[in-house]
């Protein structure tokens, strides 16, 4: 999700900006609502944003000079829903562009769409689907984080393939090439990130149950009334 500055043709860069603008608007409204209606959750939301920034800033060399990164987007999307993480993920990518030279301003729309939109919604949807069938929450988080990471890089591969179709084989040949390049490192990175996400979720369950209960992940135990005495 760190397509470098100027790499995408102007038309494709503009297209991805146009695609993500509605999500930015909805995300800003959702974040504002959380800040106004649930101020006690601000710290946890900020921590999810910090997690995205730190993890997605890690740069792991891949083949032929490319790089892979964790995304860190899944846990926040699971806890708060996908929309807040669209804005937080975009802010993280923007700061990485300015401070670390990861990605670019012209490619911010494409990078944010793959990580903050696709990654967030896949994480949220996967968690809800696996949770409905009775899977333990930490395992749900693991699967959600894994698929979120993979979906981000699949989207990036498709973005690059659409912008640069192969001379022979076109879009599909180009997509296969990009997927193969990213897959060498991204498959194990996603699994490692998913283990970390599950660990953090378990720590939140243990040490911050009030916020998780507020977000609907823990049930408030029923009070058992004392038996009546005659």
Summarised one tens digit per residue, pLDDT across range 66-95 is 567 889 999 999 999 999 999 999 999 999
**Is residue 4 domain-resident?**
no
- 3 lies in a domain? no
- Cβ atoms of residues 189 and 70 within 8 Å: yes
> Is 156 inside any structural domain?
yes
Q: What does the pLDDT read at residue 161?
A: 93
Whether 49 is covered by a domain: the verdict is yes
What integer best gives the mean pLDDT of the chain? 88
Q: Is residue 48 part of a domain?
A: yes
How much is the average pLDDT of 60-71? 68
Q: Torsion angle, CA of 117/115/153/16, rounded to 10 degrees? A: 60
Q: How many domains does the chain have?
A: 1
Question: Does the structure show a pLDDT above 50 at 23?
Answer: yes
What does the alpha-carbon distance between residue 171 and residue 181 come to, in Å, rounded to a whole number? 15
Ranking 29-38, 161-170, 180-189, 196-205 by mean pLDDT, the lowest is 180-189
Taking residues 23-29, what's their average pLDDT? 97
Query: Would you say residue 225 lies in a domain?
Result: no
Output the pLDDT for position 50.
93
* pLDDT one-digit tens code per residue, 193-221: 999 999 999 999 988 888 888 888 865 44
Which CATH number does the domain housing residue 157 bear? 1.10.1760.20
Domain extent, residue 29, equals 10-214
**Whole-angstrom Cα distance, residue 5 to residue 173?**
24
Q: Is the pTM of this model over 0.85?
A: yes
Structure tokens given for 88: 């937080």
Strands annotated E in 67-117: 67-68
- pLDDT digits 0-9 by tens, 108-149: 999 999 999 999 999 999 999 999 998 999 999 999 999 999
Tokens for 114, please give them.
């793959």
């Amino acid at each position: 999700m760190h397509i470098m500055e100027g790499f995408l043709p102007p038309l494709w860069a503009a297209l991805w900006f146009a695609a993500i603008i509605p999500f930015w608007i909805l995300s800003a409204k959702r974040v504002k609502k959380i800040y106004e209606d649930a101020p006690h959750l601000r710290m946890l939301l900020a921590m999810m944003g910090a997690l995205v920034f730190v993890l997605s800033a890690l740069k792991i060399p891949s083949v032929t000079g490319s790089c892979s990164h964790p995304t860190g987007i899944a846990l926040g999307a699971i806890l708060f829903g996908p929309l807040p993480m669209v804005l937080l993920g975009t802010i993280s990518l923007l700061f990485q562009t300015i401070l670390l030279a990861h990605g670019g301003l012209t490619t911010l729309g494409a990078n944010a769409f793959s990580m903050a939109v696709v990654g967030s919604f896949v994480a949220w949807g996967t968690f809800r689907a696996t949770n409905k069938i009775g899977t333990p929450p930490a395992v749900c988080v693991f699967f959600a984080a894994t698929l979120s990471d993979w979906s981000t890089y699949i989207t990036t591969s498709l973005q690059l393939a659409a912008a640069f179709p192969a001379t022979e084989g076109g879009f599909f040949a180009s997509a296969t090439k990009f997927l193969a390049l990213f897959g060498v490192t991204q498959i194990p990175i996603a699994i490692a990130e998913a283990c970390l996400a599950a660990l953090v979720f378990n720590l939140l369950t243990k040490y911050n149950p009030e916020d998780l209960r507020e977000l609907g992940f823990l049930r408030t135990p029923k009070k058992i009334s004392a038996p009546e005495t005659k």
